[in-house]
Amino acid sequence: MNYKKTIIFTLLINILISPLTGQSSNLQKDEIKRLFTKSKKLPLHTDQFANSLKLLPSPPDRNSQLFAIDKEIYLNTRKLINTSRWNQAIEEAAIFNGTIGKNFSKTIGIEISKKNTPITQDFLEDLLIMSGNFGTDKAKKHYQRIRPFMYYHTHSCTPEDEELLSKDGSYPSGHAAFGWSAALFLSEIFPDKQDQILKEGYEFGQSRVICGAHWQSDVDAGRLIGAEVVARLHANQEFRKKLKKVKQELLKKSREIHFNKN
């Protein structure tokens, strides 16, 4: 495996490892290998997206007012520990266990899964790799920003991930980049539900702040990356064809659900 492939593989692990209650570590490894193989077959790769190091401003300096705001937001979200919103943050951290579209399923009224919507599931996996990985890697690697749970010597909402997360830069957030890019694409398909979908995408990013895995400025920067990736993918003919198939699949499912209700 050459240096570039090693970087991609490491980044996939850093972004994707999440709690998998009741599932073996071998299953995790198999899934990572599958996504790594898939990443090499995507129509676009890291160097074809905007350079996140050039696109984004530097993360807030520790002595800045912006970092003071980051800390204040983090401390204010500690009141959510052990609440339903905390549990949501734990659930939304697990984008690795086949439930990648679960948070959007209720919003659009369609179960997104490998069995029910295989084209959409495949599309979201591609988007996860390209937005959460390819789109963020240069800035993450350069800044290696310390995460909130490390700064405060405490735990995140997923303590089992902390050893791995501590080796991966906090800025920008790959989860937030994916959540926002997914919301933008899904709101194109369901414009009548765009407010709910975009709200869900926003909250997906906020879950990382609540979890203690990211600062607010990490999440804000991640959303910018997500939007950049969406714009870049719209310029790719192969990806536009895939998006058209996703739209056909989801709208067909929507019509079936409506027909069955009536």
Identify whether the C-beta of residue 8 lies closer than 8 Å to the C-beta of residue 133: yes
d(CA 15, CA 185): 21
d(CA 228, CA 225): 5
The amino acid at residue 195 is: D
Per-position b or e across 62-88, b if 16+ CB within 10 A of its CB: eeeeebeebbebbeebeebeeeeebeb
Burial class of residue 216 (count of CB atoms within 10 Å of its CB; 0-12, 13-18, 19+):
buried
Identified catalytic residue from 145, 147, 214, 223: 214
Identified catalytic residue from 137, 218, 220, 223: 218
Active site residue 142: no
The amino acid at residue 248 is: Q
**Residue owning tokens 């009536």:** 262
Selection from 94, 135, 102 nearest residue 121 by Cα: 102
Identified catalytic residue from 147, 175, 223, 232: 175
Identified catalytic residue from 145, 208, 223, 232: 208
Residues whose CB is less than 8 angstroms from the CB of residue 57 and which lie 6 or more positions away in sequence, other chains included: 221
Active site residue 208: yes
- Cα 67 to chain center, whole Å? 23
Phi/psi at 31 (nearest 5 deg)? -70, -40
Active site residue 234: no
d(CA 238, CA 241): 5
Q: Which residues are catalytic?
A: 175, 208, 214, 218
